């Protein structure tokens, strides 16, 4: 069964401020200038129970062509903890019960030999860790076994170029 997702019309101000600041830092690093504006687009609360999953999707901003997404766990059940990363491998990729994954490219068998970073990044199971990434990066969350529920927040931030001329674009 898929997870349960609801739109949050009034997210916490501290969360908004932190998210927009991280997006500003990332946007400046990626673009080489700060001649852009950011706007919080949408925020969702997500609940996941035993066996629920989040299928592959990109959380694209609706207000601009470019933007950022984020994921932050708010509540983890007892069966999901940082010790999961230390468990023996399960399946072809490792022990991944309940992990959020960022998918930014397809992996090839020669990637390790060519010193190419893997295209799947597994996020830590840690409450309060805010992950910010370009909105075209796809996400997926594996199901977990055990009692309890997991809650996380995800959001989109739109990025719009300002009319200020940038020396890097000349």
* Cα 143 → chain centroid: 16
Report yes or no on 167 lying in a domain. Answer: no
Q: What share of the chain is helix, strand, coil (3-state, %, to 5)?
A: 15, 40, 45
Number of structural domains (the chain) is: 1
Provide the residue range defining the domain that includes 20.
4-162
Which tens digit of pLDDT belongs to each residue from 140-153?
998 988 889 999 99
Instruction: For residue 37, give the CATH number of its domain.
Output: 2.60.120.620
Nearest of 99, 147, 146, 156 to residue 126 by alpha carbon: 99
Nearest of 93, 113, 116, 92 to residue 105 by alpha carbon: 116
- Please give the average per-residue pLDDT across 7-31, as a whole number: 95
Report yes or no on 136 lying in a domain. Answer: yes
- Which segments of 61-119 are extended strands (E)? 66-75, 100-103
Q: What pTM did the predictor assign? A: 0.81
CA distance 62 to 27: 18
8 Å CB contact between 129 and 73: yes
Report yes or no on 137 lying in a domain. Answer: yes
Residue 169: what pLDDT? 42
Which tens digit of pLDDT belongs to each residue from 115-125?
556 678 888 89
Q: Give the percent of the chain with pLDDT over 90.
A: 52
Report yes or no on 8 lying in a domain. Answer: yes
Report yes or no on 169 lying in a domain. Answer: no
Report yes or no on 170 lying in a domain. Answer: no
């Amino acid at each position: 069964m898929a997870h349960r997702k609801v739109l949050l019309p009034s997210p916490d101000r501290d969360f908004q401020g932190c998210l927009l600041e991280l997006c500003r830092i990332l946007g400046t690093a990626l673009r080489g200038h700060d001649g852009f504006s950011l706007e919080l687009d949408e925020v969702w609360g997500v609940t996941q129970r035993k066996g629920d999953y989040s299928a592959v999707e990109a959380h694209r901003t609706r207000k601009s062509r470019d933007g950022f997404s984020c994921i932050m766990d708010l509540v983890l059940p007892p069966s999901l903890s940082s010790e999961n990363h230390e468990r023996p491998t399960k399946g072809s990729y490792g022990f991944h019960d309940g992990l959020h994954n960022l998918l930014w490219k397809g992996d090839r068998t020669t990637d390790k030999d060519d010193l190419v970073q893997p295209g799947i990044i597994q996020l830590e199971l840690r409450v309060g860790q805010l992950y910010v990434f370009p909105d075209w990066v796809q996400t997926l969350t594996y199901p977990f076994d055990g009692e309890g529920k997991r809650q996380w927040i995800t959001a989109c931030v739109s990025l719009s170029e300002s009319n200020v001329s940038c020396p890097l674009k000349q």
